[in-house]
Structure 1
Amino acid sequence: MFRPLSLFVGLRYSKAKHKNKFVSFISMASIFGIVLGVAVLIVGLSTMNGFENALRDKLLSVIPHAELEVVKGDFEDETNILAQVRAHPGVTGASPYIVMNALLQNNIKMKALQMRAITPETETQVTAIEKYIKQGGWELLSTTDSSIILGEPVAKQLGLSVGEHVTLLLPQISSDKLRAPRKFMFTLTGTFKMGGQVDSTLGFIHINKAKEMLNLNHATGIAFKVDDVLQAQVLSREVAYSIPVYMYIKSWITSQGYLYQDIQMVKSLMYVILLLVVAVACFNIVSTLVMAVNEKRGDIAILKTMGADKWSLRAIFIVQGAFNGLVGCIFGALLGVYLAINLSSIFSTFEELLGRKLLSGDIYFIDYLPSQLDYKQVFIIAGVAFVMSVVATIYPAWTASNIEPAKELGYSH
């Protein structure tokens, strides 16, 4: 005989057709619920992983991880301070900069934005926005021809093409009276497009030109990159406290951290909500097994009279319920993995059918639905779902083991 008996009988009960069709329906519904819950949870978490990856790889590649801005004046000991920042553990690169708020004018069209005056030779240590620049890179910036690089949306809004001139208006701060803004002529030498708000709010000029415009001898800020982006806030404070200058301390967490926090919050909510969906599906197994026990009362009584102990009877129904859970978890995991791997292409096809973009690159920092499958999460989700399905079998299995053979066989007689 096939051993162990509980496994043999339990698997037979799982595959056998129920006398009551409603029991069969509930059994299939519980399996389908587990499949759906596991698959959706895998796809949902893969999407959140994709957004988190895109945030790190794209958005955080074009904005500095941390910045130090002098409160008043500029960094007089700029060279030594730069060396000190670069030498700090956890810092991978640093570059000086100057930031100013300006107004760009082309005929009657105007656009306010933040001008970032950078050092082309060292900017690549801090950001990777250069790879999003059209028609070249930072070498387009020079002080001789007052060159400027703008985002494509800004250039379009101002009606500018590469090679054309644009006027930069710089406000003059005066405590006693209003003064007309100073005007500087620049040549548009390049445009960039990386997606999101950065394209519409930022422009680049050479740091030497900014020093000339503002009558400064040194940079007013130092941007740096760290090896662990989640430690940017801590590292920026450590670096700042080691420099004897009054400074404003900034990091990507203060400016863009809400995106990361939103992703983490949605991911946590997804875990809870979708695990509850899986739990509901798993506890459909309770209904299935309770009705199965009522169907098999005579069989249970016969097994008891033949010497089957309580744990053997319990194991039969635990195996039956666990089999349903295992089938649901396996098919759910396979479906979830397939959908997660192909999610971006499926989403693109859906957009084509609708005839419109659901994620706009002008608003978000990406214009596609990202997906990053984590097989560790797949195993955890499938494992938790299976454990929940096994737990759901305990009550019906316990009920089955407490059936009294004398009563059941007496009634059948």
Structure 2
Amino acid sequence: MFRPLLIFVGLRYSQAKHKNKFVSFISMASILGIALGVTALIVGLSAMNGFEKALRDEMLAIIPHAELETVNGSFKNLDRSLTQVRQHPDVIAASPYIMLNGLLQKDDKIKALQIRAIAPESEREVTSVESYIKGGGWALLKSGQRSIILGKSVALKLALKVGDSLTLLLPQDSGPQLKSPRQINLTLVGLFAMGGQLDNSLGFMHIDDAKQILGFDSANGIAFKVADVLDAQKIARDVGYSLNDYLYIKSWITSQGYLYQDIQMVKSLMYVILLLVIAVACFNIVSTLVMAVNEKRGDIAILKTMGASKWMLRGIFIVQGAFNGLVGCLLGAVIGIYVASNLTAIVKSIETVIGHKFLSGDIYFIDFLPSSLNYEQVTVVVIAAFLMSVLSTLYPAWRASNIQPALELGFAH
């Protein structure tokens, strides 16, 4: 098969044994360094992609994308407001709610909690909380029965089990005199386990019960699901400004957006830091080629006397260095793809061996290390690493092309 001379000679130099063993060692170190950098970058980016996907699939499935809450009282015309919200082209579904802040008491145990009173029929269209409720979902909440669904961790702290009675303490408008809190008897009808802080800070009851307890005619909030979660804040503002009520406008970006921003920041830093690691590995290619040029000075002089041009000589050493870079990039890509594809299982195995979980479900919204491999990112990483390895060959190749045959072959006086 026909191959240009510079590629033929460059590949021969790449595969030839060096007289100096240290040159061989540096050459192997450069290949392994690039492979390690590429592997780390692919695995790290896959983990960040996994967290981003888990944020969307897990967390944004159980919290509303956006919310509108009245500043005072409840909505004047809830049905009309709900219709306006649902008619917005970027809104998928909407559901009314009432938010209560109080204390739950069982015997001598007390727990501060935020209770979300929901309309079961429409709530399931906005969030997927129902799938985390054991024993019947939203059907457990029936109007007029003053029932409540709590997180598993709250039930454990209050020593509650399904069917137990408990007391909800709500503050009263004190006026000139301080009044004792209102006491409302509730029945625990179900438990949920979603993971993260929500299990420890949120409870659910039927919206009709909340209306009766607070004396509201309608809901004081509307939660809705949007088509583009990353555009939730803008959509929430558009929807809120279209209504006549005086409202607080909120979205998941204001409450949980720091998680998404942290993921993006870490991903950007990872790109920069690990590309610098690859750049350091590429400097080994410079060392390898500089020593290879010194070792092949006689060969270069002979090639020059036989008519080889400067560009051919440069091409020979560019091919030699690029071959090392290509081997390192492909090796790193193969290892990186394998590790990233099996990262969750690998980390679980390590956790089993050491007996310690890296991610706690009580703190984070997931209790495993997620991974989502993006082949476009793999391609970008491999191409960037290969280009860096090619750039590192330019100086040694330029030095090789400037060798004087007369001096090397002993013809000059």
TM-score category of the 2 structures, normalised to the smaller one: over 0.9
Shift >6 Å, 4+ stretches = none
What secondary structure is seen at the aligned counterpart in 2 of 1:359? coil
Task: Give 1:89 deviation, angstroms.
Answer: 1.6
- Distance in 2 between residues matched to 1:408 and 1:241, nearest whole Å: 82
Partner residue, 2:198: 198
- Tell whether 2:301 aligns with 1:301: yes
- Distance in 2 between residues matched to 1:158 and 1:136, nearest whole Å: 22
Partner residue, 1:140: 140
**How do residues 66-77 of structure 1 correspond to structure 2 at under 5 angstroms?**
66-77=66-77
Partner residue, 1:11: 11
Task: Give 1:357 deviation, angstroms.
Answer: 1.5
- Tell whether 2:362 aligns with 1:355: no
**How do residues 7-156 of structure 1 correspond to structure 2 at under 5 angstroms?**
7-156=7-156
1:2–1:8 contact (8 Å) kept in structure 2: no
Deviation readout 1:137-164 (Å, 9 max, x if unpaired)? 1010012321110000001111111111
- Distance in 2 between residues matched to 1:350 and 1:381, nearest whole Å: 27
Partner residue, 2:381: 381
Task: Give 1:411 deviation, angstroms.
Answer: 7.0
- Distance in 1 between residues matched to 2:145 and 2:278, nearest whole Å: 64
Structure 1, unaligned runs of 5 or more = none
- Distance in 2 between residues matched to 1:258 and 1:358, nearest whole Å: 21
State the aligned residue count. Answer: 413
What secondary structure is seen at the aligned counterpart in 2 of 1:173? coil
Partner residue, 2:323: 323
What secondary structure is seen at the aligned counterpart in 1 of 2:143? coil
Structure 2, unaligned runs of 5 or more = none
What secondary structure is seen at the aligned counterpart in 1 of 2:101? strand
1:65–1:232 contact (8 Å) kept in structure 2: yes
- Distance in 2 between residues matched to 1:356 and 1:288, nearest whole Å: 43
Alpha-carbon RMSD? 1.2
Task: Give 1:259 deviation, angstroms.
Answer: 0.5
- Distance in 2 between residues matched to 1:61 and 1:373, nearest whole Å: 22
Partner residue, 2:186: 186
1:48–1:263 contact (8 Å) kept in structure 2: yes
What secondary structure is seen at the aligned counterpart in 2 of 1:403? coil
What secondary structure is seen at the aligned counterpart in 2 of 1:113? strand
What secondary structure is seen at the aligned counterpart in 1 of 2:92? strand
- Distance in 1 between residues matched to 2:33 and 2:90, nearest whole Å: 47
What secondary structure is seen at the aligned counterpart in 2 of 1:111? strand
What secondary structure is seen at the aligned counterpart in 2 of 1:125? helix
Task: Give 1:175 deviation, angstroms.
Answer: 2.7
- Distance in 2 between residues matched to 1:358 and 1:408, nearest whole Å: 61
- Distance in 2 between residues matched to 1:259 and 1:173, nearest whole Å: 37
1:162–1:188 contact (8 Å) kept in structure 2: yes
Indicate the percent of aligned positions where both proteins have the same amino acid.
67
Letter in structure 1 aligned against 2:389: S
- Tell whether 2:264 aligns with 1:264: yes
Letter in structure 1 aligned against 2:212: E
What secondary structure is seen at the aligned counterpart in 2 of 1:95? strand
Letter in structure 2 aligned against 1:62: I
Task: Give 1:223 deviation, angstroms.
Answer: 0.4
Structure 1 residues 256-265 or 171-180, which shifts more? 171-180
Partner residue, 2:207: 207
Letter in structure 2 aligned against 1:29: A
2:406–2:412 contact (8 Å) kept in structure 1: no
- Distance in 2 between residues matched to 1:410 and 1:392, nearest whole Å: 31
- Distance in 2 between residues matched to 1:3 and 1:226, nearest whole Å: 58
- Distance in 1 between residues matched to 2:68 and 2:185, nearest whole Å: 29
Task: Give 1:98 deviation, angstroms.
Answer: 0.3
Deviation readout 1:131-189 (Å, 9 max, x if unpaired)? 00011110100123211100000011111111111111111122312111111111111
The 1:302/1:412 distance shift into structure 2, 3 A limit, reads: farther
